[in-house]
Structure 1
Amino acid sequence: MKIMLRVFLFVFLSKISSGFEVKSWTESRILGEGPHWDDKSQNLYFVDDFGSSIHRYDPKEEKEYYCKVHESAPVSIVIPIKDKPNEFAVTIGKNLTIVTWDGTSKTPESVKTVVALDEGPGKEENQFNDGKVDGKGRLWVGTMGPVKNDDFTPTAGSLYSIEMGKEPVKHFDNVSISNGLIWNQNYDKMFYIDSPTRKIDVFDFDLENGALSNRRLFFDVTDYLTDIKYGPDGMTIDDNDNLWVALFGSGKILNINGKTGEFIKEIKLPVTCPTSIAFGGTHLDELYVTSSAFFTKPEDKKLYPASGGTLRIIHVGVKGRIANPAQF
């Protein structure tokens, strides 16, 4: 059965996205998110947000390992910590933790909370969401309100930067679902997504001081698509400074010129709800795409059997950049 599904996916993808090929995919998860390629170990790390677990995929073995880090709280990012083998920055609910994990066991050696975020009255149920590390080792991570009845809480979140031993710095609020942040090669621009706005914004970025300024619209997804149910989710950037953006609910990746904001191309996927993207592989020329099974309609699961899996796409034609480890 698994072989038949792989053949179906290869044929399906080749018909709609010539040149791209799904090499493999992981087991379906509730809400796959936060892919991070660790260039040192040549492994992919990601999370199952609703499954409260962190995952490691070894492409040489074509094998996935996972570890449950909480009974029920959402887990949104897992990023290896620089020069500390088996230690990871992991967001669990509204806590930033350091998780010690050997990469194979089903339970962690330890989970230590280093930041317990308090966003004030009325936001007790907020949680961390998407996050990445800048060129100085700061963790940038946003928050969002609780998801109830499959819907989000509007404008309850914020965007923060966090350095070890310091209080989190809030850069702005009134965010609904904080997602998709990434920097250009020079670290003088930061791209950002608040998913329900269906827009990508760009800031001028001061790497030395970790400061944002001059927020402006960079790309409006509704100018390209009108039948959007959700919106842009996670994104990454290639070595040409062009963006690759997951369209949650639309089953696509958009490739956008990172300098002009012009649409370059799309990749249609064998999942309806891609969540985020990371470049990986020995030469950083493969795309890893996490996805959600939770928001996939029952009738779509038969047509898109990879839903909830993490896709490995080859023949991309461009390379990414090495993802920064956390420095805690």
Structure 2
Amino acid sequence: MSTTHREVYSGIRATESVVHKQAKRLSVWREHAAGYLFLAPSLVLFAVFLFYPLIQSIYLSFHLTDPRGHVAAYVGFDNFTQLFASSAFWNSLGVTVKFTLLTVPAGIIAGLLLAAFTHTKLKGMSFFRFIFSLPVALSVSTSAIIWMMLYHPTTGTLNYFLSKLGADPVQWLIDPAWSLISISIMTVWMNSGFNYILLLSGLQGIGDDIRDSARIDGSGPVRTFFQILLPLLSPTVFFLTVVSVLNAFQSFGQIHILTKGGPAGSTEVFVYSIYKEAFVNYQFGTGSALALVLFLIILLLTWIQFRFVEKKVHYQ
């Protein structure tokens, strides 16, 4: 092949290479454009209902507002300084921590026990599975109304049974010593359906050959559950722990319906403090500062759980 032919051939190959690269780049660009097109509705929803409120909250947290929510004056970090110096802030934080400790472990343990009970192949288990998963179908307001009737000081079912046992009636939602416990019991029941369904699904995802091998090796049902099944179930338990802590720190509906933060602030959790500060006292700047503090607390707790607790998780 002559030099001229080689040059022509090389030029053709170079042109083909450039055209191929441009076509490949155009194909990648079309794929990215199609991906962003499908993501566009979700991005719009996130922008409207998540990103914009977050930016607006940050902006308002550095300002004082009038009762109509209009910015009145720039105050810098004064809203945060007043929060950390307020006894109401620390009370709501303490109540939220107590509420979390009362509801999260109890809810997971209850769901685990119910899932272990109905995972057996006895007759009638399908009926119990339906009953135990029923709370997931009820809204917060419906659950709160049901428990409000149960907790009624004179006509409530719980005090009726206490009277039959010869015990004095309990002021479930009026006594500061019982109010947070009462809300926690109702919350554990309300979340039990979701916890139960996830934990039962996790147990059903563990192969029968593992149980058969443990039974052949002489392992009893209790030992098999705690030493074999529970470690295999740890990813589900970890997920439930993270979600339950998030839900506990964001609880509002049942507290607003049953106690409205009372009596004497004994059930005033963090989110209710935000609601009261912003929509009762019309202090939107302070309410926004509270919301940002809650966001940072939840972010820190989630990071701690993924950083330290996840090490105990056994993935198959």
**TM-score above 0.5:** no
Higher share in strand: 1
Structure ranking higher in helix proportion: 2
User: Please, what TM-score do these two structures have when normalized by structure 2?
Assistant: 0.22
Structure 1 length as normaliser, TM-score?
0.21
Q: Which has the higher contact order (CA 8 A, sep 6+)?
A: 2
> Rg larger in 1 or in 2?
2
